[in-house]
Structure 1
Amino acid sequence: MRLRTLLGDHACTAALKNGSIRSDLVGFDFVDYTPTNKGFKPMVREGAFDVSEMAIVTYLMAKNFNKPMVLLPDVVMARFQHGYAFYNAKRGVLTPADLAGKRVGIRSFTTTTGAWLRGILANDYGVDLNAIDWITFEDAHVFEFVDTTRRAPAGKQIVQMLLDGELDAILGEKVEHPDLKPLFADVKAEEARWFAKHAVKPINHMVVVAQELSDRHPDVVREVHRMLSEAVTADKSRFRAAEMRRSLECITGYTAEQGLIARRFAVDELFDNVTRPLIGEVH
């Protein structure tokens, strides 16, 4: 069976994309989006792919609105988030405690990195997220979500607005500029403290399959997971089941707290009867 597939170029997908991992049961017709996240909207809104990389917060929001897709227990991108928040040092020092009343830019209010960072700010630094003036640049991938943030003027760029003093801080960007400093002063130390407290490595992207594929061809779905697992193992970056569950529990909680989903899903709810048993194969 040929599967229309969206997967980014990651170390843990390389063996799958270059054909070194093969199957007699399935083949992949890879679709190219640059960056990969540009393909998430057509997957959520149109069911454009059989297999798709997916930002975990986008998936949670899609599930909230009953979109016909299901999660596989396969992580393709995870990272610590503290290094993706910046302020303009030319306008003075800014710390998380100073964010109330400030203008904070973020590409979309629903990005996964943004949700992680807001959760960290609220839960570990006591920041009142409702006291921040959020400035956004893009709609959510999920059409049904009602975004109440303030939209940046058309044509404006997030980093340039920070440099020009039109924003006080930005989340979700990785930039190098002499005037821009990390919101968390010692990023590595903050990441280490956060991990020591939570034992969580933040998941950004996992893999989903169309619900119809899971319903009609469970053997194909299991084979896709086998191949993804083999590719990840080759990269030596596999999440253990308990690690994956902790990360999913954390981001699901943050996403619910921030009003992106109506309630906090249990981890097992994110999978179906085909993909849930596969969690036990993630060692």
Structure 2
Amino acid sequence: MKQQDGVLHLTAALKKYPHTQGLIEGAIAEPGLRLDCQVVEPIHRAFAPMARSQAYDVSEMAIVTFLQAKAYGKPLVMLPSVLAARLQQGCIVYNRRRGPLGVIDLPGARVGVRAYTQTTGMWVRAILDGTYGVASDKIEWITFEGGHLEEYRDPAFVTRAPTGKEMLQMLLDGEIDAAIFGNDLPDHEDIAPLIPDPAAADQVWYGQHGFYPTNHVAVMRSDIAQADPETARGVYRLLRRGKDATPDPVAARKRVPDGIEAMRGALEMIIRHCERQQLLPRKIGVDEVFADSLALLGAEAR
């Protein structure tokens, strides 16, 4: 954070989406406020530094990472703005050369995921549990990284892959039975969705729940937000204006909504499944998560 020529500059880590492009390029601005966006690729590499040491003034962050940070008392405020969301059932895949595999075969199976705390992994496990009746602790989870919060420890049914192993190669070699990928979903002729016709299954899920599964939200340092709530309101306005500037603002807000009420249903489900999956060290309520936003933003947060 720095003042320059009467403008407050905040460091920010945001991925370029249609609704953040204008902020990153400086085309969307707020009087007296600028976001100096840094390139972090892939964006999840920004989450641990932000959660652990508040490396940026404003940052995109996986919702599970934020909930853990909140539970561990990290000085962060979540602004009620979704930055990334997607339907998830195509994210769990298997190697079809090794024979058929379905959801019914997952109890006792070895399933890879980058980290047990990865939000995409949380959502896939939530869907396996809530839609297909396969609880997380019935699967042997193989991970390749730890969580973004140093305090967190994986449950007993989670095992770290040997050093140097890569998830896709382990799947091709038959060392794991299935794997969950996010934006890095592999394009390989042997890799197929474990859930048949995942796009259709996702539409059924969306019809039942009415929201896209939230992956990433916006957070900022508590000291900056609380010292000057108008700065927090300015950042929130920028995020909202970014969505208004997309070719289809209605579709953007449907997929990546702003506001407490629009986010409440997804957050309630996330918290419930985080508890079931042993991702949180203590109970967290939705109102606790939104309390800081409401105090800082007032009616704008609704």
Please give the range of the TM-score, normalised by the shorter of the 2 chains.
Answer: over 0.9
Give the conservation status (yes or no) of the 8 Å contact 1:44–1:142: yes
Unaligned runs of 5+ in 1: none
Query: Residue 13 of structure 1 aligns to which amino acid in structure 2?
Result: T
Corresponding residue for residue 248 of structure 1? 267
CA distances 1:73-115 after superposition (whole Å, capped 9, x unpaired)? 1111110011111011111111111101111000000000000
Check conservation: 1:268, 1:276, Cα contact below 8 A. Answer: no
Counterpart CA distance in 1 for 2:55 and 2:177 is 38
| Residue in 2 that maps onto 1:181 | 192
Equivalences for residues 112-191 of structure 1 within 5 A: 112-148=119-155, 149-173=158-182, 174-191=185-202
* 2:83 counterpart SS class: strand
TM-score (norm 2): 0.89
Tell me by how many angstroms 1:198 deviates.
1.6
Shift of 1:120: 0.5
Question: Please, which runs of 5 or more residues in structure 2 have no aligned partner?
Answer: 1-7
Give the count of matched residue pairs: 283
1:72-87 mapped onto 2 (5 Å cutoff): 72-87=79-94
1:92 aligns to what? 99
Q: Relative to structure 1, is the Cα distance of residues 123 and 280 closer, same or farther in structure 2, using a 3 angstrom cutoff?
A: farther
Letter in 2 for 1:225: Y
Post-superposition, which runs of at least 4 consecutive aligned residues in structure 1 deviate over 2 A? 240-243, 262-268, 271-283
TM-score of the aligned structures, taking structure 1 as reference length: 0.95
Instruction: Provide the identity percentage.
Output: 40
Equivalent position of 2:3 in the other structure = none
Cα contact 1:73–1:278 (8 A) shared by 2: no
Matched, 1:68 2:75: yes
Q: Quote the Cα distance in structure 2 between the aligned partners of 1:252 and 1:151.
A: 25
User: Structure 1 residue 279: deviation in Å?
Assistant: 7.9
Q: 2:227 aligns with which of 172, 196, 216?
A: 216
272-281 vs 260-269, which moves further: 272-281
Deviation, structure 1 residue 270: 1.2
With over 3 angstroms needed to count, the CA separation of the structure-2 counterparts of 1:153 and 1:223, relative to structure 1, is same
Task: Kindly report the root-mean-square deviation, in angstroms, between the aligned alpha carbons of the 2 structures.
Answer: 1.7
Structure 2 matches for 1:2-41, cutoff 5 A? 2-41=9-48
Contact 1:252 1:265 in 2 (8 A): yes
Question: 1:61 aligns to what SS in structure 2?
Answer: helix
Which amino acid in 2 is paired with 1:159? L
SS in 1 for 2:245: helix
1:119 Cα deviation (Å)?
0.6
AA aligned to 1:171 is I
Segment of structure 1 superposing worse, 22-31 or 112-121: 22-31
Amino acid at match of 2:101: L
What is the aligned counterpart of 2:51 among 31, 35, 44? 44
Conservation of the 8 A alpha-carbon contact between 1:70 and 1:272 = no
